[in-house]
Structure formats: C-alpha cells, structure tokens
Chain A
Amino acid sequence: MSYVIEMNNIRKEFPGIVANDNITLQVKKGEIHALLGENGAGKSTLMNVLFGLYQPEKGEIVVRGEKVRITDPNVANRLGIGMVHQHFMLVEKFTVTENIILGNEPKKGGKINIKKAAKEVEKISNQYGLRVDPHAKIENISVGMQQRVEILKTLYRGADILIFDEPTAVLTPQEIQELIGIMKKLVKEGKSIILITHKLKEIMAVCDRCTVIRRGKGIGTVDVSETNPDKLASMMVGREVNFGVEKDPAQPKEVVVSVKDLVVKDSRGVDAVNKLNLDMRAGEILGLAGIEGNGQSELIEAITGLKKAESGSILLNGKEITNMKPRRVTEAGIGHIPEDRHKHGLVLDFTIGENIVLQTYYQKPYSRSGALSYPEIYQKARALIKDFDVRTPSEYTPARALSGGNQQKAIIAREVDRSPDFLIAAQPTRGLDVGAIESIHRRLVVERDKGRAVLLMSLELDEILNVSDRIAVMYEGEIVAIVDADQTNERELGLLMAGGKKEKEGEPHGE
C-alpha cells in the first residue's frame, strides 16, 4: 500500500523546547487519518511543518512517493495539500465566491470573472454535498457554513490532501454530524484527510487510522477498528483515564437558589428566558442541558446580574437578588465560572495574581484604605496555584501566557475559594484536553460534597450525563423536563433538547 503522505522522523525544535521529536506520520490515500494528542503535544507544529510554515531540523517529507521540501504554504498548495484552519480566514464583507477566489482570481481582460468563479464554486460545492450558496455574504451565514467555505477554498485550489485543524470545536452537535458526512463524502471521492483533534468520539466515528503523539513524541499509529476510546485516551495521556466521574450519590438538602417566572430578553430584545422556574439544592449538581441559544446563557447572566430580568424573581437562600449589581450578587454568595473565559473570566494582560483577586481586590487584606497590598495578593495566588495545580511559571506571569486548561483552573480556583453557596459552571471544560477535564469534573464533585449547590451548563451531553445528579433540559427559554441523571440517556435528552415532550408525565416535575 502506498502512502500519499509520509512524514518520516520529523524533528522540530524551538528555543528551549523540542516540539516534535522523531515523529513519523504516514497517511494512506483515501483514508481519514486522525492526529491525536493533548493541547501542546505538538500536533499543530507537525501540521505547520507539513504546510510549509516551519522547516524541520531533521526528517523527510514524501508526497505521493516523491521526496519534497515544503518551504512555504504555496509549495504545499501546489502539492495539493490544503488546510482548513480552526480560526477561519475569511473576509466578512465578501461573498462566498469572492472569499474562495481571493488571491487566485480568474480574470477576463483585466476584470475578475466572478460569474465563472461562482459557477465553479457551485459545481464543487454540489459534488461534495456542501450546499453552500456562492453568493451569500460571509457575515450572514452560520459558523458551520463558514467552515464549509474554508473547505471549498482548499478544494477550489485543487487540494486532495486536506488537513482539518480541530474542526468541531466551533460546531453544534448537529453541524458536527453534517461535517462527518462531508468528510466521508470527500474520501469517497478520492481525497485524503488528516484530522487534528483531541476528541475521541469523533475519531471512533469517522477515522480509519489514528496516530497519537504525546509531549512531542510519536506514541504510535493504530487502526481505529481495533481500538477503543479508553485505549486511545491512555495512549494520549500516558496513563489510565477515568471517563466516568467517580462520585457518591448526591445528598440534596435545602433549596439554595429558587428562580420563579423569570423572563429575560436577549440582545435583540426577544424573550430568551420565558417564565422559567427552577430550584437548585445544596449538595447537588444540576445539569443544564440544551442546544446552544435556548436561553441558557441569558438565564445565567440574569442570575449573576449581568443581564436585566424583565420580570420574575431570583432568590438566594430566601433573599431576593433579582437585578442586583454583579458585585452585590458575588458578595451574596455566588461563584460564576463564565462561559467565555477570555471575554469574561480573565483580564488576559493582568498577571495570574491580579486575576485571582478580580472580585475581591477592594476587600481586606488585599486592599487597605484604598491601597493595594501586593504581598497579600501574591501570597493568595501562590496558595491557590498550588492547591489547584495551575501550571504557570509564576504568579507574576500574565494570564495570556497560560494554556486554556490552566487559565480555566485559575478561574475555578478563584471562584471556589470564595466559598460561594451557589457555584455556576458554564461550559467549564470547553476546548480543554482530557487531563484538565478530569480534574475540573472532580473539583465540581468536591464542591458538591461540601454542600454547595452547583449548576453545570454544558452543550456536551457526555459531560452533563457524567457529572450531574439531576438534569434540567432547556428549550426555547423554558425548562421542559427535569430528569435524574442515572435514569436517562443521551437519546432521551437529545429528544427533549429538540423540543420533544417527555412521555406523558404532564408537567415537568421540578417544584
């Protein structure tokens, strides 16, 4: 069997670090080949070597049996290698066709022949079942569609080896299904695909073979049909990984937070939360499931004071906190791990220490009569960094320099350390690797066992099912059902999330 791409014994160094140490990756024609590894394992470096962005110190690259030197991305393009980037490189104001031909415009007497280009784009789009409208503007189409435009871009340039860089990170579950269909279609038409990912489920669903790298070293290549997620995970992490979260049955106590008839409008002025009722109890993790955009974010923002509640009430330990300022809500005893850690959770240009006191900087002992006490701040930071295993060179490092997992650990450390009665965790593991996810899930269970009420909002059903004790399903701004986590399954939840009613039990049974 001949390989369409062979990267043999690749070594790439950066000052002070070996990003790729003797890695071999061989891709067969017409297969979907997964490149699996944790964040920072060296996947992107390896692909950037293949795409011509980096030059390897050692090793050879063979494309279709011929030894090549890929000195820049143009060479890669000429060899038929195309990259679908994780962060799209599209001009928002341009149409799909304009974006695709950018830098490669078909000309007719000095003018761009947009009609011909659009026809070509449409033809390719139909061939692979992408169903993209060539005349739509990028800013008007969904993220999933934008990704297809990126795929089209590589196909238009004649790529037959496609690199997908973490393509599902930005997609909804449904879009992921569609993408999987597209990838299968692509290989059927003779393309080869390298899929960079750390999601095991996707590998099992779509890939033929899988190469695992860990800390810059190649661990091995396996046939997906002969392996399982547990084996892949232990190859990736280097030890046994526990997917199920170990926990004792919950012992729910008194109601900590009670939401009654809450109405919240979204940024467009539409009711995103619609007369919602929900109780959260101490000592219990309540999962909040739902497809993105069904009002989960607005619900959390209203509880934390970031968004105005139009009507209804929110009680914390029996006291009204509706429409209180965020600071008062925080002081009343709510911890909030926000959905978007870069936007809300951290001031990226502040040091870790400064971020640790983001809500408490004005209180003693961090501030005395208006003057900051840095020794106290950094002492706190050192303690939390140690307790929560935040991997950072020091407490003086800017938050920006940390990996996503460690940024998230710092946020969790800060929120948990205030000992809030009610902890909100919104998408706490988004974009993190297996090791970090494990530790964050364990931390949520620990908080539950300390008698706190925990609300876990997540778009990942696995996470909801594994970590929660009860699950509230949100659909179009309402809680349509509350189920026990051990008495439901992905299928039932999926149905409820899509607006299907639970089998004849009448009203949702959350009082």
Chain B
Amino acid sequence: MVNKLFPKGRLVSLAVPLIAVSLGILIGAIVMLVSGYNPVLGYSALLSGIFSETYYIGETIRSMTPLILAGLAVAFAFRTGLFNIGVEGQVIVGWLASVYVGIIFDLPAIIHLPLAILVGALAGAMWGFIPGFLKARFQVHEVIVTIMMNYIALYTVNYLIRAYLLVPGERTETISPSASLASSFLQSLTDFSRLHYGFIVALLGCIIMWFILWRTSKGYELRAVGFNQHASMYAGMNVQRNIVLSMVISGGFAGVAGSMEGLGTYGYMSILSGFSGVGFDGIAVALLGANTAVGVLLASFLFGGLQVGAITMQSRAGVPTELVDIVIALIIFFVASSYLIRWIMNRIKKEGI
C-alpha cells in the first residue's frame, strides 16, 4: 500500500500549486466581471504583456531575478525548519552593501563585480546571523526577530544613504561600470529592457541551493536539524551551530537578491519610502514553489510575469494593476489552504483514506 502511495504523493504536491494558480486566475476573472471589466480582454492583455514582445520577456526575466533569490532564501530556511521573514531586510542591506562596494572601489570588472556581489551576500548573511544566533543561544523565536530586523534594516540603510552617500535625487551615486551587471548586449536583444546578467546569478543560486541541501553532508545535517532536533542531537550534530548556519546561508541568498537590484536593475540605491516587497514576495514564491529550487524558479516566473504583464493589462484593457495583486493574493491563499485542495482531490477520487 505504501509504495503505491508514494508516487501519488508526488503527483499531489505538483497538482496543488497548479490548481491553486488556476483557482486564483478563475476567481480573478470573477472579480473582473463583477467590477465591470472584460476578463477575456484583461487576461489576453496580461498574456501579451508578458510574451508578445521581446521587451516584455526581458522585463519579466529581469523582475524574476531578485524573486528567485529571495524565494531561495525563504525556501532554504524553511527546509531547515526555520521561518525567515527577514528576507526583506536582508535584501535591503545586501543592496546597499553591493552598491557601496560598486561606488567606492575602482577595480577591474573581473574582480569588482564578484566582490560587490560577495559583499552583498555577506551583508545579508550578517543580517541573518543575528536572529539565528538569538534563536540558537536564547531560544528567541526567529519570526519575531526577523520582522523587527526588517525595520532596522530599512531605517538604518535610509539613514546611511542620507548621511554619507546622498546625491541629488534622494539616492546614491551610480556604481562604476566595472561593478555593473547591466549588459548592452542583453538590452539590444530585448528591445532595451532592463535585462541584466543577474539572471545567470539567480540560476546559479538555484543550483547552489539544491546542491548544498541535497548533495552535501552539511546539507544533510541542516535538513536533519530542521526535521528533528532531538534526533540530530542524538546523532551527534551541533544543533545550535546548524541553526545559525542555516540563517546565515538564507540571509546570503537574500543579500544577493539585493545585489541584483543594486548592480543590475538600478545601478544605485534610492532612499526607500517603504519596503521593496522583494523579500515578502519571496515568501510567496517559496510557498508556491513548495520550497524546491525548481519550484521557486517556476513560481518566480509566474509572479514576475504577472507583475510585468499587469502594466499592459492596465494600458490596453483598462484593468487596474491592483487586480494582479488580487490574483497573486488569491493564489497564495489557495496554496496556503492546500489542505482544502487535497481534501477535494481525495473526495473526487472517492474516499481513499
């Protein structure tokens, strides 16, 4: 009985996000109808706003890039039993750190760019270290600490920019070209979208996360600690150190997500009036992607595409972009209530117990 159930379980875990997405889109259509828009027109405009022109495709990939890395950050922590709500803050500190390195140094690109990304990762890692340490040493719940760390990051970074790095336009200087991910080749390929080399970094991130978790003995340890701390202790693992390490790696991914914004999309950092949203979207991406590297990639494509396509949907079909936020919220709602979907699927398959 058990070995028959196993592949079925895998099928279910694939079906749940797909059904959630369909339900989200379906109810989104109803919302459009009720508020007086034509859903067919709206969605076709949305789709053409993702695929119809190379510009849109470039923009979609561009907006996917930080989402992938933020999603990996959340997924990595989740796989090791931790809930990293602090990705947003880690993104912000990583962003500033990368931009800072990009501005003050004058190095050959082959050194400058990797260094800037690395420093971004380190800054995010440091921001993850604090809640990890507090959790391991004093059992302070990481959710509380990471939420607070988000605010600390936001206002500290704003202060630092204002006090030391400000140029007209409420922002920092632009980074030197040797630290930039921007690519005139990619831009010309995509009709001058803001597409940059960062997506290669994001893809590498997916591979790195998969490799660490599933192919290294350290990853084995991290997952063991995530599932069962008592058994890990019994097996001779250092539970505390693994908790800290997990938050550090997670924060590192988030920091690189910030680098992508700083070194790729913008080339500078503005004073932020509020959270960038990348970190919080990362939570949704990880959830929809079932905390796997491939899932995060696919979910990022969906969310990135929706965000980019929304603009066309508004201009061409007159549907406000907020509707896309509603659809995204609905998808998250249905993924979160995956229990409901599983239950319905079981019902349809006729009481399988």
Residues of A with C-beta under 8 A to B233 = 306, 326, 344
Q: Quick one: which of B1, B4, B217, B352 contacts A362, CB cutoff 8 A?
A: B217
Q: Complex: how many Å from CA A452 to CA B352?
A: 48
Known: A16-B1, A327-B236. A349 touches B227 (CB 8 A): yes
Q: Quick one: which of A14, A345, A359 contacts B353, CB cutoff 8 A?
A: A14
- A contact residues, total (Cβ < 8 Å): 36
CB <8 Å contact, B234 and A336 = yes
Residues of A with C-beta under 8 A to B3 = 393-394, 397
CB <8 Å contact, B4 and A16 = yes
Known: A14-B1, A343-B230. A371 touches B224 (CB 8 A): no
B347 interfacial by beta-carbon distance below 8 Å: no
Nearest chain A CB to B270 CB, angstrom units: 41
Q: Complex: how many Å from CA A65 to CA B186?
A: 83
Known: A15-B1, A16-B1. A345 touches B231 (CB 8 A): yes
Closest B residue to A362 using CB positions: B217
A290 interfacial by beta-carbon distance below 8 Å: no
- B contact residues, total (Cβ < 8 Å): 28
CB <8 Å contact, A345 and B234 = yes
Q: Quick one: which of A326, A354, A401 contacts B236, CB cutoff 8 A?
A: A326
Known: A14-B1, A346-B231, A401-B2. A359 touches B352 (CB 8 A): no
A146 interfacial by beta-carbon distance below 8 Å: no
Nearest chain B CB to A316 CB, angstrom units: 15
A475 interfacial by beta-carbon distance below 8 Å: no
Closest B residue to A394 using CB positions: B3
Residues of B with C-beta under 8 A to A304 = 234
B315 interfacial by beta-carbon distance below 8 Å: no
Nearest chain A CB to B352 CB, angstrom units: 6
Known: A370-B218, A371-B216, A372-B215. A347 touches B353 (CB 8 A): no
A17 interfacial by beta-carbon distance below 8 Å: yes
Closest A residue to B8 using CB positions: A15
CB <8 Å contact, B236 and A361 = no
Residues of A with C-beta under 8 A to B215 = 371-372
CB <8 Å contact, A367 and B217 = yes
Residues of A with C-beta under 8 A to B237 = 327
Interface string of B1-38 (1 = CB under 8 A from A): 11111100000000000000000000000000000000
CB <8 Å contact, B6 and A393 = yes
Query: Helix, strand, loop or mixed for chain A's interface?
Result: loop
CB <8 Å contact, A350 and B227 = yes
Q: Complex: how many Å from CA A508 to CA B234?
A: 32
Known: A14-B1, A338-B234. A361 touches B217 (CB 8 A): yes
Residues of A with C-beta under 8 A to B353 = 14
Residues of A with C-beta under 8 A to B5 = 401
Q: Quick one: which of B2, B4, B6, B224 contacts A347, CB cutoff 8 A?
A: B224
Nearest chain A CB to B235 CB, angstrom units: 4
CB <8 Å contact, B217 and A347 = no
Known: A14-B353, A15-B352, A397-B3. A354 touches B220 (CB 8 A): yes
Nearest chain A CB to B1 CB, angstrom units: 5
A330 interfacial by beta-carbon distance below 8 Å: yes
Nearest chain A CB to B242 CB, angstrom units: 13
B276 interfacial by beta-carbon distance below 8 Å: no
Nearest chain A CB to B123 CB, angstrom units: 25
Nearest chain A CB to B221 CB, angstrom units: 8
A143 interfacial by beta-carbon distance below 8 Å: no
Q: Complex: how many Å from CA A326 to CA B232?
A: 10
Residues of A with C-beta under 8 A to B232 = 347
Interface string of B62-98 (1 = CB under 8 A from A): 0000000000000000000000000000000000000
CB <8 Å contact, A350 and B236 = no
A64 interfacial by beta-carbon distance below 8 Å: no
Closest B residue to A414 using CB positions: B235
A348 interfacial by beta-carbon distance below 8 Å: yes
A188 interfacial by beta-carbon distance below 8 Å: no
Known: A336-B234, A362-B217. A348 touches B228 (CB 8 A): yes
Q: List 21 A-B contacts (CB under 8 A).
A: A15-B1, A306-B234, A326-B235, A328-B236, A336-B234, A343-B228, A344-B230, A344-B234, A345-B231, A346-B231, A347-B232, A349-B227, A354-B220, A358-B224, A366-B217, A367-B217, A371-B216, A372-B217, A372-B219, A393-B6, A394-B3
Given A328-B236, A345-B231, 19 further pairs, Cβ under 8 A: A14-B1, A15-B4, A17-B1, A343-B231, A344-B230, A344-B233, A344-B234, A347-B227, A348-B227, A348-B228, A350-B227, A358-B235, A359-B236, A371-B216, A372-B216, A393-B2, A393-B6, A397-B6, A401-B5
Q: Which residues of B contact A (CB under 8 A)?
A: 1-6, 214-221, 223-224, 227-228, 230-237, 352-353
Would you list the 10 A-B pairs with minimal beta carbon distance, nearest first? A327-B236, A393-B3, A367-B217, A326-B236, A344-B234, A358-B235, A349-B227, A401-B2, A362-B217, A343-B230
